Chains A and B, each alone.
Chain A
Amino acid sequence: MAKVIEGLFYSESHEYVRVDGEYGYVGITDYAQNALGNVVYVDMPDVDDEVQAGEEFGAVESVKAASDLISPVSGTVVEVNDALEDSPELVNQDAYANWIIKVQLSDTYETHNLMDAKAYQEFCESQH
């Protein structure tokens, strides 16, 4: 069963955001990495790019498929996880430790539109 972590917020397109003050760490969930299979490339935005909740901000490519990354929150990218450039497989090893972008949130209230751990767990179970 896919791992879900308490305290994070989740989207229906299987991204998560971990909120830390005015910042949010965005990545794909364990369910998503498992469904994608071996990740071979993560296409990330540049620092200072704007992201919009519900809009695409990059892509994850696995041996099976390429999938758009949909941002769960809005704001400005302040950091990207450079380690994923050479080692995209880190996403498979631990999807939650290996976030993809760090966003300065423009609206911390936005997370109310997302699912909590319990709701996301149920959502994943309903997917199959």
Chain B
Amino acid sequence: MNRTLYGNLIFELSKDGRRGYSLPINQFGDFELPAELRRGEDACLPECDELTVVRHYTNLSNNNFGVDTGFYPLGSCTMKYNPKINEEVAAMPQFQSIHPEQPAETTKGALALIECLEHALCQLTGLAHFTFKPYAGAHGELTGLMTIDNYHRSRGDVSRKKVIVPDSAHGTNPASAAVCGYEVVEVKSLADGTVDVDDLRRVVDEQGPEIAAMMMTNPNTLGLFEYRIPEIAEMIHGCGGLMYYDGANLNPMLGACRPGDMGFDVMHINLHKTFSTPHGGGGPGSGPVGVREGLQEFLPFVSPYNGNYAVMMKAYAYILSLGKEHIGMVGPLATLNANYVKESLKDVYELPIDSLCCHEFVFDGLKDKSTGVTTMDVAKRLLDYGYHAPTIYFPLLFHESLMIEPTENESKETLDGFVEVMRKIAEEAINDPDTVKTAPHDTPIGRVDDVLAAKHPVLTFKQLRDEQD
């Protein structure tokens, strides 16, 4: 790696007047831009030759870490492999060059694919209808809650202003409920990590007529299956509310059970989690929303277009690649892999809830707390060994959360390699704690000062330059 090209911002490599590109000759003759449309001062843009630009970004990309580079056990995110056949399918020119404003009769093939994908998702989830308009998971949550809101209003039932969310929920659930205008009521978890049904009963008894919905992930954020779900659904339906399923943890359910059969009425799916489309970097995402029969008329208008179409093609390619015979293995294998890693490490890492998990599980830091080595230190040390760190300090139920999700794609050899390194770090924490506490040592950038970064973020080159002046 070239430290000059990697360690500097593209702005710092800039030389006044240098150009990497010649604009083509203006075919339209001279034209003076009106004065009010001209900038008063030059734009702050880097001036570099093409080769410097290419080397700078190639060096940056070489230091990127993705699921194609190595093991990426980022819990709650389901960083599963994106099969290359998905990309081939999405790049087919027949699909790639269509335009959303094209007359519908010229895009029948593309629309047929949406219908086929809808049919497949209905089969897999037990719901009756899906919309593909939402652009990501959180957009899907909002769309789903607006559907629920429309349903209650259509019945003249306007007093339902509350949404129940378990304390182990993903933060997007209370956020989406609040954006939709609902008040959030939290229910507690039991020591075994599942929803406290007695606490829920108390909430339903006291506030039943005000409850619009309950939002749940199942399995929950701790990777535990909410085994009392039929009872929970009955209680919520009994008070007139609807059940919302957050599809964030749908992966281990594929082939095992279906949200529709568990009593859920509305759900979203993150195609970029469960259906192997690319994930992270801000998109493109896709958060289709499914509803039970009779609710589709309440789906709100959230977009004139059908979401990120190429993402749908990739998801459909994944479903067809596995086929009906094999897609049911996704959930069981994701569950097997997570339990294998959990059982292989629980003697050296603190497992607060020792039970069978689904696709992911949470350690509460190292078992031996006397060394002062924290979850943050373990995560940083993993980078030295070439692994992406797991999710840390989430969920908030434990102080030193370390959340691991291997996904079904990983081989036993990969999992064994990860287990070996995790055990090695646990030993280092005892024998050589300073090495762990000051990690990473072998990455291009060492330990980042996250306190300074949070208190004084420098987000633009202009800000950096102004502060240096």
Contacts and interface: CB of A to CB of B under 8 A. Distances in A.
B45 interface: no
Contact of A65 (B393, B450, B451, B455): B393
Contacts of A35: 399
How many of chain B's residues touch chain A, expressed as a range? under 10
B454 interface: yes
Contact of A63 (B394, B396, B450): B450
Contacts of A128: 399
B454 A61 contact: yes
A40 B393 contact: no
B454 A65 contact: no
A40 B454 contact: yes
Interface in B44-62: none
B399 A63 contact: no
Contacts, number: 20
A107 B424 CA distance: 56
Interface string B385-397: 0000000011010
A60 to B, nearest CB: 12
B376 to A, nearest CB: 8
A55 B405 CA distance: 35
Of A35, A38, A63, most B-chain CB atoms within 10 Å: A63
Contacts of B394: 65
How many of chain A's residues touch chain B, expressed as a range? 10 to 19
Specify the main secondary structure of chain A where it touches its partner.
loop
Of A41, A61, A64, most B-chain CB atoms within 10 Å: A64
B430 to A, nearest CB: 20
Nearest to A34: B399
A88 B399 CA distance: 20
A38 B451 contact: yes
A64 B454 contact: no
Contacts of B454: 40-41, 61, 63
A48 B396 CA distance: 32
Interface of B: 393-394, 396, 399, 450-451, 454-455
Going nearest first, the 8 A-B pairs with the smallest beta carbon separation are A40-B454, A64-B393, A38-B451, A63-B450, A40-B455, A35-B399, A65-B396, A63-B454
7 contacts: A35-B399, A40-B451, A41-B454, A63-B450, A64-B393, A65-B394, A65-B396
Given A35-B399, A63-B454, A128-B399, 8 more contacts: A41-B454, A41-B455, A61-B454, A63-B450, A65-B394, A65-B396, A67-B396, A89-B451
